[in-house]
Amino acid sequence: MNTTLLLNVEEQIVIVELAKARLKGELVVPAGAEGLVLFAHGSASSRYSTRNHYLAHILRQEGKLATLLIDLLTKEEEAIDQRTKHFRSDISFLSDRVVAVTDWLLENPFTRNLKLGYFGADTGASAALLAAATRPMAVKAIVSRSGQTDLVSEAIACVQTPTLLIVGGDDLPIIAMNEDALANIPAFNKQLEIISGATHQFGEPGALEAVARLASQWFKHYLKPADLGANLQSLSLN
């Protein structure tokens, strides 16, 4: 797997080369970073998602975490997906891409020593959960935002990674999905947070800020350096 890095002051533009695809992403590793969060975009979203850019900024600023926002589809695949919606609904395909990027991060000298977490949204959350079940030793924390967890109901039973599910209080179908997921995730450390008054995209005033705060706390707790006494304890966000 080859790597191309174009360095500038704030970020590294990375190319993850797979057998049949080249995935482009934005990797930012702040000084003193102790963990890294890989964003798994959902539906028709990409690394240009304004929501995920905001959330990544908060994680870097508040949590001193590295972030990777990467396109899980090539430009050709995106063009097909816009017409057919084929790829966005193929969770196994998206999960395989997340796993491939995970393996790249584990080999990359810039990132291989950082604890890894997944931040998934919508169908990307399903892909992240399935990928975590595939790479249980590599992934140390998961945050799901408005996750369509019913798409991976069988894989959820294999998720041992500390998992935070965040749902809007007015997103009733997704609340029901995530309540079922919470009951079926076997991980000891798992939590469901419902943000009052928020809808699926968390566009209401203060809603996305609340997502950022909860995610930052979760990742800071589970991606910090090994501390057996602390990491065996569950985290309460209330």
Query: Which amino acid is located at 39 in the chain?
Result: F
**Is 7 part of a structural domain of the chain?**
no
CA distances from 202 to 11, 61, 72, 207, 223 (A): 27, 21, 23, 5, 25
CA 115 from chain centre, in angstroms, equals 13
**Is 238 part of a structural domain of the chain?**
no
Rounded Cα gap, residues 46 and 163, in angstroms: 23
Residue 161, domain CATH: 3.40.50.1820
How many independent structural domains does the chain possess?
1
**Is 26 part of a structural domain of the chain?**
no
pTM of the model: 0.90
**Is 3 part of a structural domain of the chain?**
no
Q: What are the respective helix, strand and coil percentages of the chain, to the nearest 5?
A: 40, 25, 35
- Per-residue pLDDT 10s for the chain (238 aa) are 444 444 433 478 999 998 888 999 999 998 889 899 999 986 656 677 889 999 999 999 987 899 999 989 888 888 887 787 777 778 999 999 999 999 999 999 889 999 999 999 999 999 999 999 999 999 999 999 999 999 999 999 999 999 999 999 999 999 999 999 999 999 999 999 999 999 999 999 999 999 999 999 999 999 987 654 444 456 777 6
**Is 16 part of a structural domain of the chain?**
no
Helices (H) and strands (E) in the chain, counts: 8, 9
CA 27 from chain centre, in angstroms, equals 14
List the strands of the sheet with 66-70, edge to edge.
Answer: 3-7, 12-17, 22-28, 66-70, 35-40, 115-121, 139-145, 163-168, 190-195
**Is 118 part of a structural domain of the chain?**
yes
Domain hosting residue 197, numbered range: 32-226
**Is 62 part of a structural domain of the chain?**
yes
Going 180 to 185 to 186 to 188, the CA torsion angle's sign is negative
**Is 134 part of a structural domain of the chain?**
yes
